[in-house]
Amino acid sequence: MAKAFESITSKNIYPMGVSLKEGILHVCLERVGSAFGIILFDSKKNEIGKIDLTGANHIGMVYYGDYSLKGYKTVLYKIYADDKFVGDFYMKDYEGKNDFGFSLKEDEVYFAAKDTDYDWEGDANPFHPYNETNMYLMHVRGFTKHPSSKVNAKGCFGGVTEKISHLKKLGINSIEMMPVTELRQNKKTTLDPTGSLNLKPNYWGYQNAFYYCPNKSLGKKDAVTEFKDMVKALHKEGIEVILQFYFPDEVKRGEIKDILVFWRSEYHVDGFRIKGDNIPKRMINETPELKECKLIYDYIDQYEIEEDEEIKRIASYQDDYMYDMRRFLKGDEGVTDIALRHMRENPEKFGVIRFFTNYYGFTLRDLVSFDRKHNEDNGENNMDGAASNLSWNCGAEGPSRKASINKLRMKQTLNALTMLAFTQGTPLIFMGDEFGNSQKGNNNPYCQDNAVTWLNWNDLDKNKELFEETVKLFEYRKANLCIHPTKAHRMMDYISCSYPDLSYHGEEAWKADLYSYNRHVGILFAGRYTGDNDKFIYLAINMHWEKHDFALPNLPEGLCWKKKFDSDEFDRALKEDISDEGRISLAPRSVVILESMGESATDKRNVKRKKKDINA
C-alpha cells in the first residue's frame, strides 16, 4: 500500500532534482501549482508512496527535503502539479526507451532515481593543447548505425567504443559529439504547399532538452553506464570527449553553468562546444570546476577571457575559414592572401577550430561532387538548407563514371585535407570525410535518420587510398611541430638563423605574388624555431586550372629537397627526387609537400659539440 513519507533533517538544499543515495531520497524542485509533490513507484511501477512538497522547507519557490527510503536502489517517480503530471528538468534517467529523435511524453514517462556506484578505475582526463589536437566531429547514432559498421552496439555509445581503433589510426585525439541528451519536444514541418504537417525525427538534436539525461536510445541497454564506459575507454587511449550543447533562450543562464559542471563531474567529459544566443561566457569561464576544461564557443572576445589564464582552454568555432578556404579550393579569384591568413592564425589567448565541412552543409565528398543542394528527401521542395555552398562538382553533378572526373575529385579532396593539416589552428574532420562519405548532395539532413546520414563503412574499403593518404597527412602534421607551433608564427628571423619561421614564395623564391588573380603560393616552414635544425618543409599550393612553376628557396649547404607528397600523383608511385633542385612544376589544382634531406654544416657542428661535451 502506498504511504506518505515523512521528512528527515535536510542538510543541503542542492542538488536540484530527485536523487537517491544510501537509502536517502533527496528532493529539490521548483514549485508549480497549488498542489505539488511527487508520487513514488517501485521498479515494476507499483505505487509505493507520495510526498506532498507544499509543506516542505523552501527558499522562495524552491522546495526541498530528505526522505528515508531504505531498501531501494532504484525508485521511479512522477511530479504532480494540481491535476496533471509535469516534467522534471533535472531528471537523470527514466524508465523505458524512447524512439530516437522523438520527444518524451512528460505526462506519461516514469522518471528514475538510482543509487549506483560506477568504478572509473582511476580515470584521468587527457588535456591536449589546441595546437596538438586533432578533432573529429561525429553524430553518435550516425557513426555506427549502418549495418556495414559491423559493431555490436550499432548507433550507440558502445559502437563508438568499438571503433576506437579507427579513430586512433586516423590520429584523432579529441571527439566532438553532436547533442547526446534526451529531447523535450518534436519539430513539425510543412511538407508541401498544401500546408500538411508531418512529425519528423529531430536527428541533429538542436532543441530544448532534458540536459541532465543521456539519450536513452543511444544506449543498447543502459545509456548512463554505456556513456561512462565509452568515456573511460576513450580516455585510456588519450582521446578527449567534447560534448555539444545547444541552449535556447528559455534556459536560464545560471542553469547552463550547472549543467556543464554536472557533465564534467558526473561523466568526466573533457570539454563543451556551447551553442546558443544567450550564453553566459564570462560566468562559465570563471567557474572553478571548469578551469581545466575545454570551452568552445561560436565566437569569443579577448575581454571574455580572464587575464590570469594559465592554460589555453577556450576556443572560437567560426565558419570564416570554411567558406574562404572553399573559395580558394575551387579556384576563386582574390582569396589567396585570405586563405594564407586563415592557415597561419593562432591567437595567443584562445584556440581556433578549423574545418572544411561540418554537420551543416556538404560532406567533403559532396563538396567536390555537387554544385547545388539536393534536399528533396527533406520534404520541403528543396527550399531548406543553404543555397550557396561554395562547392564545385568537377564537371558533373553527382556520381560519375568518368575516370577523369573522379581523379579530379580525389585530388581536390586531398588538396583540402592537406591545407587543413597545414593549418596552425586546430583541424577538425567531419565523420566519414576521411573515406569519402556522401550524403547524396543533401546539405541539411536535420531529419534524415537513415542511410543519408549513417556512415557506410563499406566506403572505407572502396576509398581505402583516400583513408591511407589522410592518415599519412595527419601523421606528418603530428611529427613536425614547425607546422603547428605552440605560438603563432612571427614571419621573421627572430633567432638570427638566416630563415624566418614562416615565409611565402611564388614563381620567384622569397617573392609571393598575392594579387587577386593569383591562385598559387609556396609556404616555407623552418624547423629551427621548434628544435629541429635541419628540418625545412615547403608546401606548394596551386589551385589554378593551369600548371605553375615555383622557384625553391635555397637550403643550407648539405641539404636538398625531396618530395614527400603530391596530390597529382596519388594514383602512382611518388617521385621523391626533384629533377631541377632550384625549381618545381605543379600540375593544375594540386599541392606538393617538399622536405629537406641530408645534414647541414650547422647540424654537423652541433653534433661535434655534443660529442665533445660528452667526452669532456
Whether the predicted pLDDT of 471 surpasses 90: yes
Residues 99-119: b if buried by 16+ CB within 10 A, e if exposed: ebbbbbebeebbbbbbbeeee
What is the average pLDDT score of the chain?
Answer: 91
Q: What's the CA angle centered on 328, arms 524 and 340, to 5 degrees?
A: 35
Select from 562, 522, 525 the least CA-distant residue to 542: 522
205 DSSP 8-state letter: -
Cα gap 441→384, rounded to integer Å: 13
Which neighbouring-strand residues pair with 85? 80
Mean pLDDT to the nearest integer, 33-38? 92
Whether the predicted pLDDT of 126 surpasses 60: yes
Specify the pLDDT at position 607.
45
Q: Are strands 294-297 and 314-316 parallel, antiparallel or unpaired?
A: parallel
Per DSSP, the residues of 11-58 read ---PSPEEEEETTEEEEEEE--SSSEEEEEE-TT--EEEEEEGGGSEE
Whether the predicted pLDDT of 185 surpasses 90: no
Select from 268, 264, 305, 301 the least CA-distant residue to 283: 305
pLDDT-derived band at 190, boundaries 50, 70, 90 = very low
Specify the pLDDT at position 201.
86
Sign of the CA dihedral running 163, 94, 13, 82: positive
Specify the pLDDT at position 105.
76
Specify the pLDDT at position 189.
52
Question: One-letter amino acid identity for 50?
Answer: K
Which neighbouring-strand residues pair with 3? 49
Mean pLDDT to the nearest integer, 366-384? 95
Does CATH number 3.40.50.720 belong to domain 502-605? no
Whether the predicted pLDDT of 2 surpasses 70: no
Mean pLDDT to the nearest integer, 132-145? 98
Ordered by start, the domain boundaries in the chain are 3-114, 363-478, 502-605
State which H helix or E strand residue 473 sits in: helix 464-479
Helix, strand, or coil (residue 96): coil
Q: How far apart are the first and last CA of the chain?
A: 89
Residue predicted with more confidence, 287 or 305: 287
pLDDT-derived band at 268, boundaries 50, 70, 90 = very high
Quick: pLDDT tens for 314-341. Answer: 999 999 999 999 999 999 999 999 999 9
Specify the pLDDT at position 137.
98
Residue predicted with more confidence, 4 or 161: 161
Whether the predicted pLDDT of 192 surpasses 60: no
Specify the pLDDT at position 611.
41
CATH of span 3-114:
2.60.40.10
Cα gap 361→137, rounded to integer Å: 13
Can 3-114 and 502-605 be said to share one CATH topology? yes
Confirm if 382 and 407 have CB atoms less than 8 A apart. Answer: no
Question: One-letter amino acid identity for 59?
Answer: I
List Cβ neighbours of 165 (8 Å cut-off, separation of 6 or more): none
